[in-house]
Structure 1
Amino acid sequence: MINLRRWMEISMISAFRKTANKFTRFTRSFKPSARTVSCTFTNLTFVICALSPHVDRYIRKNISSRKSMVAGS
């Protein structure tokens, strides 16, 4: 059992390293300009700001319905 756990840890670590290497290679090959990054960041911020009220309302609605369910039971 201990050997199996150790083997899983080793395989996880190696998989993580492979993924990390691929990611670093990708980031090296893909050098975006600062302008592109800032544009993307601005767009993401805008989208998050636009969606946050809806998300907030949805979460509040769910919490209140859960509370009523718990109180009902």
Structure 2
Amino acid sequence: MSIDDRHPASLIPSRLHEPALVGLMRQKINLDMVAYIAQQAVRVINLGDEPESLPTPPRTPHKASP
């Protein structure tokens, strides 16, 4: 295996990667790519339910007067 058959961002030979991925890595990043990746991330990352409202802060303790 020579260094030439590896993509610079990979540790394995290019032939072991999905050809569509190798082609994608050769393209310049554009807004459509960013939007697609963000959309896919939202689909797979579970952030849980959003709270109805923010919790209230605890009450501030008052000093007892002497």
Check whether TM > 0.5. no
TM-score normalised by structure 1 residue count: 0.29
| Bigger relative contact order (CA 8 A; separation at least 6) | 2
TM-score normalised by structure 2 residue count: 0.32
1 or 2, which has the higher helix percentage? 1
